[in-house]
Structure 1
């Protein structure tokens, strides 16, 4: 038997084994996925606050056409900065390249599906041997897919934004491998360069949904150097030659005033002010700052706590507050 929700407020899950039909309240603004932003992308743009001096560093990287290397503690908005730049400058969907210990330069440039093309060619021959209609020769461009970095180098009138996320997690040689690409703004696809002169222009698949781009004799050359935002959590140092080619920005942890401004930007003008409708906001901010001083905390953890308090959730230092404001660097 299914019971109706008995009006227990925020407690959607009771833990008593009874089946209920509950009405889910509206999700936090930063966890709403149903509305796609204009120009493509997966989520609507969230507010992003940055000091003028930090914004000037971003502008310097844009003017110099140099990668922006962004460092800072987790939760300071390193990755979100790329989305803020794309949104404010109307540069379309951000190309996201997450880095791990197995990532290679090839992963970011392109992938050639030789097995898929061979399978399609065999099917074509089988149909012809069965006296069926001779299928058209498989288009090699359909089996070449550009990665995020390769797509960012496709020649377009306005530069794309490329987020290279957590480069310090990658192989030690990856930063050096990127140097030539950053300096030359081009790369070759050997599988296409070997084709006959009759196939000097091949349209390949890009990292954009249903996107295609033309290559010339197997080369991809940018017309405008992309806006490259590289994030690092400082897990290791980068080679001097790589650092010399980047503009560096270190995002500080937000102070109390900035935290209130961030809460206000995400949750509306009724939050984060002295006349705040959120009961106990001062307590939450103090608890956040105290815990952040002794360990890693991210700003979105404070937003989670404020959102729950707005919804009537009874956060306290010994209960849900521990679940929401847990240290990121501690053991689980």
Structure 2
């Protein structure tokens, strides 16, 4: 098991994650097959934290797109600024500057992950004499980044209609897509450098250089064709002992109050049981960590008068006020 990691964490910057052996194996299988890794589990179970953790740990580039009900597959590939183009077309000819359709292209996260050199030039070629380059957004991960490896997080894909995952089947499967406005096919770029990465469980020979992590909260059923093309892993509900391990991972050995973490873990377990019996939403591990932080910073323990109130505010969260 990789220590320095958590299957359940609200820290989406990837600084802390406690990965199970099963999840680590799922990542290796996704890299060995070149397939997306689909993470299933309850909200707050840490699905969105795995991708930034892997990028930080391995030194890979990291990109992220949070799906909404309006997201379309093309948004992950590229967008075209037709409004800006129309405005430029209406300028007097002498004020337009050098005309290129490429300048209105905004590469999406999948383009940046698979072909960063092409994305930086908006799909243009050197002979086009592009007057401006597109700058990749620094996601805040520590340097150095290995330019030939990338992790892409497609978060909460179930919020979109089935057209989105269906529209990603070809780009994810073949590693290429066609940008119609500039009539150019974008393909995964070959390695740009001869830099050899340190050997790890995720950089062994034969493993893919790109990992696409997709998360779902099961709000909508995903198309079967999409599921067939994914490696699927389920993040299970941690038991009280594992919750204590999670608190320890977040606060460091010797600094975590394991007695407090144990009391909160048992309270969370009891709250989950009651929620299941009543058909209510179950509290998540992210909420457990919120409760733990509040207790540590406010000096609250099981024998203090505000303990029950803290549980109500952070874990139970009733749907109505009595």
TM-score, length basis structure 1: 0.69
TM-score, length basis structure 2: 0.71
1:222 matches 2:208: no
Q: Structure 1: which 4+ aligned runs deviate by more than 4 Å?
A: 271-274
CA offset digits 1:10-40 (Å, max 9, x no partner): xxxxxxxxxxxxxxxxxxx977xxxxxxxxx
For 2:180 and 2:96, locate their aligned partners in 1 and report how far apart those are by CA, in whole Å.
Answer: 26
Greater relative contact order, per chain length (Cα 8 Å cut-off, separation 6+)? 2
Partner of 2:26: 57
Q: In structure 2, which of residues 272, 285, 291 is the aligned counterpart of residue 299 of structure 1?
A: 285
For 1:78 and 1:30, locate their aligned partners in 2 and report how far apart those are by CA, in whole Å.
Answer: 9
How many aligned positions are there?
256
For 1:325 and 1:151, locate their aligned partners in 2 and report how far apart those are by CA, in whole Å.
Answer: 39
Q: For 1:74, what is the secondary structure of its paired residue?
A: coil
Question: Which structure 1 segments of 5+ residues have no match?
Answer: 1-28, 32-42, 129-133, 194-217
1:115 matches 2:83: yes
CA offset digits 1:211-264 (Å, max 9, x no partner): xxxxxxx22111366311010112232222221111010010111121111111
Partner of 2:113: 152
Q: Is the Cα–Cα contact under 8 Å of residues 36 and 212 in structure 2 kept in the other structure? A: yes
The structure carrying a bigger helix percent of its residues is 2
Question: Aligned pair in 2 of structure 1 residues 302, 79: CA closer, same or farther (>3 Å)?
Answer: same
Q: For 2:186, what is the secondary structure of its paired residue?
A: strand
Task: Please say which structure displays the higher CA radius of gyration.
Answer: 1
1:269 matches 2:235: no
Question: Aligned pair in 2 of structure 1 residues 79, 63: CA closer, same or farther (>3 Å)?
Answer: same
Partner of 1:165: 155
CA offset digits 1:155-202 (Å, max 9, x no partner): 676232111111111112222221111222111111111xxxxxxxxx
Question: Which structure 2 segments of 5+ residues have no match?
Answer: 1-8, 118-146, 190-207, 276-281
Q: For 1:220, what is the secondary structure of its paired residue?
A: strand
